[in-house]
């Protein structure tokens, strides 16, 4: 016979792990005619407290330790058949009952037996269930249950910690829409504890208004369909709360839906940001589409060599008659309209802007469907994306009318300059024609004044005629000088002269320079510089504009110190005023010229009057003689 060790057989009907722990699948057995001595010997060898008695593979009895005690106490012969010595009833368990361990324990307790043979439908022995193995198995099962409960409790604690830490609202609703679970975030959201929420219907917690919003989706989930949606729910604190909801149905083993799990994320901040972004985008598109003579666009370069538009406003259709959709689909539709001469410049500027991330700006010409030319001013700022693309956000303005106005203005300028030259020529001719009879009047008045026979009254009248003629001649000369000032540019070597003065003054440590004019005091250059010099130092106490003056050809030591002399004044001024003098002189017009003359101080009124006297010839000399004597002479007066 086999030993009492458990022998596991895969083909055994009792293949359940629990039953394998409580049942011997190959217990010790003897035939009905076996002697008691032989049976007891086999029991001892198998180390089992019983031995089954078989009759043609059918269990007919069981001999246990209790029967052995009775045998010894009655001093019965050991040679008797074992079947005659059985006192314990044979209580069996069918193979269909072995999965119910609780029933087996109850049967053992009911019949006060420690061994329970397992037989099949034909009463053939399958195995033996012992009380000892049952108790051991129950103890092990109890320990496993306690360990499993501890692990389950630990997992629940971890799960609770995880769900409570999530910034989402987790809940479980049963088929009657009652809460069975909520996480800590859910408690904070509604200001109620888990115990206060669980067991209550959802409309009691959310409120009827909010429940009516989510009711269709909950009913759909309880019908067995997963649901994902976004909802806007009224909120007394913030007005409207936006949530993203996922509902997952919970199915039992039989397929029946017993509830649903709800995962709710508060997306109010994100939704408000999206709405604000949509509003700004709508505003930008509206402004771009309604620019009367312009548009906005976004242009992209994608390596290695692809260019395309991601946005262009409706203004492009008003400018060149091309729909925005066509440009977005194929940028060459717009590129082909650019005048050939501007395409190369645009490509070079775009490449430079892409490489250096500098502003792209140019004026461009495009051909319109009507055959005309449309001018545009483009300006865009590039930025580099993480994926290597370069994006230009820019604006394009229609400057066609401005270009037409510039052309008309240029034409008007040319016409005005031509008219001005004609005016100057006319004035020069007229003044020359007027000077001839006027000189005769002045000459005859001088001759008449030499007549000794004239009375005082007559001399006075002749003086009036002569003075009036001089005034008229002065006016004519002034008009002639203005025409010369317009037609003759400033001497081209003035900058070099100024640089020479500056270098000499610096080397000699001088603080002033002298510009000497000849006695041709009527030339406009002289009249420009002198008043400018006076104006530059007007109000200063140390100016020495009342400088010596000399007629043409006279040496320096013959200079007269009187600024009222008919000769020109020698202009002496600090070197720092030279640039201001030059800048003022080259910008003079008729108004500025007379304003400078009139701005002379009152003590120079006589000089101002003489500055208005003009002669036709002028010699411009720069005296580069720097000596203490010249400076001393220039300070006289």
| Strand order through the sheet with 29-31 | 29-31, 50-55, 58-64
In which element (H, E) is residue 394 found? Answer: strand 390-398
Composition of the chain by helix, strand, coil, percent to 5:
50, 20, 30
State the pLDDT at residue 89: 77
State the pLDDT at residue 545: 36
Lookup: tokens for 200: 């209550």
E strand segments, 56-199: 58-64, 93-94, 115-119, 125-130, 169-174, 179-182
| Residue 338: CA count within 13 A, CB half-sphere | 19
State the pLDDT at residue 606: 56
pLDDT value at 336 more than 70: yes
Least confident of 180-189, 290-299, 612-621: 612-621
What is the secondary structure of 323-373 as a DSSP string?
Answer: -HHHHHH-THHHHTTB-HHHHHHHHHHHHHHHHHT--EEEEEEEE-TTS-E
Domain 17-139 has CATH 3.40.50.2300: no
Q: Is 532 exposed, middle or buried (0-12, 13-18, 19+ CB in 10 A)?
A: buried
pLDDT per residue over 239-254, tens digit each?
A: 788 889 999 999 998 9
State the pLDDT at residue 559: 37
Q: What is the Cα–Cα distance from 513 to 508, expressed in whole angstroms?
A: 11
Lookup: tokens for 42: 């086999």
State the pLDDT at residue 428: 74
pLDDT value at 199 more than 80: yes
Lookup: tokens for 114: 């420690």
E strand segments, 236-321: 239-251, 257-266, 294-302, 306-312
Round to the nearest angstrom and report the end-to-end CA distance of the chain. Answer: 157
Q: What is the Cα–Cα distance from 513 to 579, expressed in whole angstroms?
A: 13
CA-wise closest residue to 3 among 36, 32, 22, 26: 26
**Phi, psi torsion values for 567, nearest 5 degrees:** -65, 165
CB 215 within 8 A of CB 221: no
CB 31 within 8 A of CB 23: no
Q: Is 410 exposed, middle or buried (0-12, 13-18, 19+ CB in 10 A)?
A: exposed
State the pLDDT at residue 262: 93
Torsion on CA atoms 465, 469, 475, 478, rounded to nearest 10: -150
State the pLDDT at residue 387: 92
CB 245 within 8 A of CB 233: no
Coil/strand/helix, residue 46: helix
Q: What is the Cα–Cα distance from 485 to 215, expressed in whole angstroms?
A: 94
**Phi, psi torsion values for 221, nearest 5 degrees:** -65, -40
State the pLDDT at residue 144: 87
pLDDT value at 259 more than 80: yes
* Segment 183-196 mean pLDDT: 89
Lookup: tokens for 66: 């209790």
State the pLDDT at residue 165: 81
CA distances from 559 to 507, 513, 612 (A): 26, 16, 22
CA distances from 277 to 214, 272, 273, 274, 391 (A): 27, 8, 6, 5, 19
Domain limits, the chain: 17-139, 166-266, 276-398, 405-487, 494-634
State the pLDDT at residue 84: 79
In which element (H, E) is residue 377 found? Answer: strand 373-384
State the pLDDT at residue 364: 93
Identify the CATH assignment for 166-266 out of 3.30.450.40, 1.10.3080.10, 3.90.180.10, 3.30.450.20.
Answer: 3.30.450.20
pLDDT per residue over 571-621, tens digit each?
A: 444 444 444 444 444 444 444 445 555 555 555 555 455 544 432 233 323
- The percent of residues above 90 in pLDDT, for the chain, comes to 24
* Segment 515-528 mean pLDDT: 41
Q: What is the Cα–Cα distance from 293 to 309, expressed in whole angstroms?
A: 20
Which positions ≥6 away from 263 have C-beta within 8 Å?
Answer: 168, 169, 170, 245, 246, 247, 248
Whether pTM > 0.95 for this model: the answer is no
Q: Would the CA dihedral through 29, 32, 36, 38 be positive or negative?
A: negative
Which positions ≥6 away from 177 have C-beta within 8 Å?
Answer: 201, 202, 203, 218, 222
* Segment 185-210 mean pLDDT: 89
State the pLDDT at residue 398: 92
* Segment 115-121 mean pLDDT: 85
Q: What is the Cα–Cα distance from 390 to 307, expressed in whole angstroms?
A: 10
State the pLDDT at residue 556: 36
Which positions ≥6 away from 282 have C-beta within 8 Å?
Answer: none
Identify the CATH assignment for 405-487 out of 1.10.287.130, 3.30.1340.30, 3.30.1330.40, 2.30.30.90.
Answer: 1.10.287.130
State the pLDDT at residue 298: 92
Which positions ≥6 away from 183 have C-beta within 8 Å?
Answer: 160, 163, 164, 166, 169, 170, 171
Top mean-pLDDT range of 304-308, 470-474, 536-540: 304-308
pLDDT per residue over 480-506, tens digit each?
A: 776 666 665 544 444 444 454 444 444
pLDDT value at 299 more than 90: yes
State the pLDDT at residue 436: 79
CA distances from 104 to 92, 100, 137, 388 (A): 10, 7, 13, 76
Q: Give 538's pLDDT tier (boundaries 50, 70, 90).
A: very low
Secondary-structure class of domain 276-398 per CATH: alpha beta
Task: Round the average pLDDT of the chain to a whole number and report it.
Answer: 74
Same fold, 17-139 and 405-487: no
State the pLDDT at residue 567: 32
CB 519 within 8 A of CB 547: no
Coil/strand/helix, residue 374: strand
State the pLDDT at residue 621: 33
């Amino acid at each position: 016979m086999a030993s009492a060790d458990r022998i596991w057989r895969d083909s055994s009907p009792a293949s359940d792990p629990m039953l394998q722990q409580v049942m011997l699948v190959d217990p010790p057995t003897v035939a009905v005619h076996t002697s008691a001595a032989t049976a007891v010997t086999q029991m001892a060898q198998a180390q089992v407290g019983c031995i089954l008695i078989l009759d043609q593979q059918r269990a007919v009895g069981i001999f246990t330790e209790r029967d052995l005690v009775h045998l010894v106490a009655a001093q019965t012969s050991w040679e008797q058949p074992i079947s005659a010595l059985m006192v314990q009833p044979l209580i069996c368990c069918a193979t269909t009952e072995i999965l119910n361990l609780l029933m087996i324990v109850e049967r053992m307790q009911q019949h006060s037996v420690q061994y329970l043979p397992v037989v099949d439908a034909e009463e053939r022995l399958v195995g033996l269930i012992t009380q000892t193995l049952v108790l051991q198995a129950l103890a092990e099962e109890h320990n496993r249950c306690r360990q499993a409960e501890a692990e389950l409790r630990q997992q629940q604690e971890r799960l609770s910690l995880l769900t409570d830490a999530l910034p989402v609202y987790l809940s479980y609703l049963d088929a009657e829409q009652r809460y069975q679970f909520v996480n800590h975030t859910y408690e904070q959201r509604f200001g109620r504890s888990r115990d206060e929420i669980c067991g209550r219907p959802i409309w009691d917690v959310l409120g009827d208004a909010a429940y009516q919003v989510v009711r269709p989706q909950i009913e759909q989930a309880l019908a067995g369909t997963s649901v994902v949606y976004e909802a806007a729910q009224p909120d007394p604190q913030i007005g409207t709360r936006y949530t993203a909801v996922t509902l997952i149905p919970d199915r039992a083993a039989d397929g029946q839906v017993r509830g649903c799990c709800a995962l709710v994320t508060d997306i109010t901040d994100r939704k408000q940001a999206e709405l604000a972004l949509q509003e700004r985008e709508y505003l930008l598109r509206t402004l771009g589409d309604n620019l009367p003579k312009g548009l906005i666009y976004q242009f992209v370069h994608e390596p290695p060599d692809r260019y395309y538009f991601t946005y262009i406003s409706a203004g492009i259709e008003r400018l060149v008659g091309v729909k925005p959709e066509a440009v977005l689909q194929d940028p060459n539709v717009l590129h082909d309209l650019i005048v050939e001469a501007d395409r190369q410049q645009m490509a070079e500027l775009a490449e430079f802007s892409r490489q250096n991330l500098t502003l792209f700006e140019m004026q461009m010409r495009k051909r319109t469907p009507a055959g005309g030319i449309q001018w545009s001013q483009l300006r865009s700022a590039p930025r580099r994306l993480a994926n290597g693309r370069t994006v230009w956000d820019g604006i394009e303005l229609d400057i066609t009318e401005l270009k037409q106005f510039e052309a008309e203005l240029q034409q008007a300028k040319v016409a005005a300059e031509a008219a001005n030259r004609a005016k100057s020529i006319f004035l020069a001719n007229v003044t020359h024609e007027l000077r001839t009879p006027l000189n005769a009047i002045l000459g005859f008045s001088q001759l008449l004044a030499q007549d000794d026979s004239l009375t005082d009254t007559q001399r006075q009248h002749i003086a009036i005629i002569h003075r009036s003629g001089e005034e008229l001649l002065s006016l004519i000369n002034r008009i002639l000088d203005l025409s010369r000032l317009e037609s003759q540019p400033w001497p081209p070597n003035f900058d070099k002269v100024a640089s020479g003065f500056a270098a000499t003054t610096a080397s000699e440590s001088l603080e002033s320079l002298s510009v000497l004019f000849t006695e041709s005091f009527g030339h406009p250059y002289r009249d420009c510089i002198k008043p400018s010099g006076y104006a530059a130092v007007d109000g200063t106490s140390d100016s020495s504009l009342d400088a010596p003056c000399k007629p043409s050809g006279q040496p320096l030591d013959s200079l007269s110190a009187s600024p009222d002399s008919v000769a020109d004044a020698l202009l002496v001024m600090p070197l720092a005023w030279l640039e201001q003098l030059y800048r003022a002189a080259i910008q003079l017009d008729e108004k500025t010229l007379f304003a400078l003359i009139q701005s002379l101080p009152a003590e120079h009124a006589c000089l101002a009057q003489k500055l208005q006297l003009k002669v036709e010839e002028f010699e411009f000399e720069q005296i580069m003689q720097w000596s203490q004597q010249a400076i001393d002479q220039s300070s006289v007066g």
